[in-house]
Amino acid sequence: MAQSRQTSEQPVKLAVPVGERDHVIGASDAPVTLVEYGDYECPTCLRAYPIVKRLRAELGHSLRLIFRHFPQSNVHPHASLAAQAAEAAGAQGKYWEMHDQLFEHQDDLIADASPTTFALRIPGLEIYKFEADVSSERFAERVRADHAGGVSSGVTRTPTFFINGLRYDGQMTFAALLDALRGTVADAQTS
C-alpha cells in the first residue's frame, strides 16, 4: 500500500472524516488529502512544518492539506491557547496566516508571548475581535473536538499524518512523505 506503509496488519483509519469545519488548503477534488494532527508548541511539528510546505509546493493542485489541533498540554503548556488563537484568526479568514506565524515564531510561543503578539503580524486581522475571541475561549471546544477526533483515530504523538484517510507510519522526511503522496496520486489516477 503506497500511501501508508503500515507496520501492522490493519491500516489505522481516520475516525473523523474531512468535513466543512476543517481548515483546508487545496482543491476539494485533489487526488490526495493529507491530514496533520499537530501541536504548535511541539518541536517535532516545527521540524515537519517546512516539509509540509515543500510538499504543497511540489504537489500543487494534487494535494489538499488539513491541519487539526492535537495540543499536548501536559508537555506544551501554550499549545491549547495557540490552537485557540489559530481558530480566532480563522474566524476572520486568517487561519493559515496564524498557523504560519505560530510555527515560524515558535520560540516566542515557548517564551510565553501573548497570542496578540502573533496577531499583530497578520495584516487585516481585527485585533480587538481576535483578543475578545481568544479571551472568551470561544474556540476551546473546537480544539477539544479536534483532539478527541485524534484520540479516536489512534493519534498518540505529534505530528501524525493521514494520507487519504490512512495513517502514515513512515519516516518524517520530505523524501519519504513525497514518495508516499506521489504513490497515492498515481494510485488515484489509475483507479
Per-residue pLDDT of the chain (191 residues; tens, 9 = 90+): 444 444 446 889 999 999 999 999 999 999 999 999 999 999 999 999 999 999 999 999 999 999 999 999 999 999 999 999 999 999 999 999 999 999 999 999 999 889 999 999 999 999 999 999 999 988 999 999 999 999 999 999 999 999 999 999 999 999 999 999 998 887 776 76
CB burial readout 74-90, b (16+ within 10 A) else e: eebebbbbbbbbbbbbb
Whole-angstrom distance, CA of residue 144 vs CA of residue 137: 11
Q: Is the pTM of this model over 0.85?
A: yes
Contact 76, 38 (CB under 8 A): no
Please report the pLDDT score of residue 2 as a whole number: 46
In three-state secondary structure terms, 173 is: coil
* Domains contained in the chain, CATH given: 24-182 (3.40.30.10)
> Could you give the dihedral angle defined by the CA atoms of residues 101, 106, 112 and 114, in that order, rounded to the nearest 10 degrees?
0
Please report the pLDDT score of residue 187 as a whole number: 76
User: For the purposes of burial, counting CB atoms within 10 Å of the CB of 6, is it exposed (0-12), middle (13-18) or buried (19 or more)?
Assistant: middle
Q: 166 has which bridge partners?
A: 13, 163
DSSP for 125-146, written as a single string: --HHHHHHHHHTTTTHHHHHHH
Whole-angstrom distance, CA of residue 70 vs CA of residue 35: 12
Please report the pLDDT score of residue 191 as a whole number: 66
* Residue type present at position 97: E
CA distances from 46 to 16, 39, 133, 159 (A): 24, 9, 25, 9
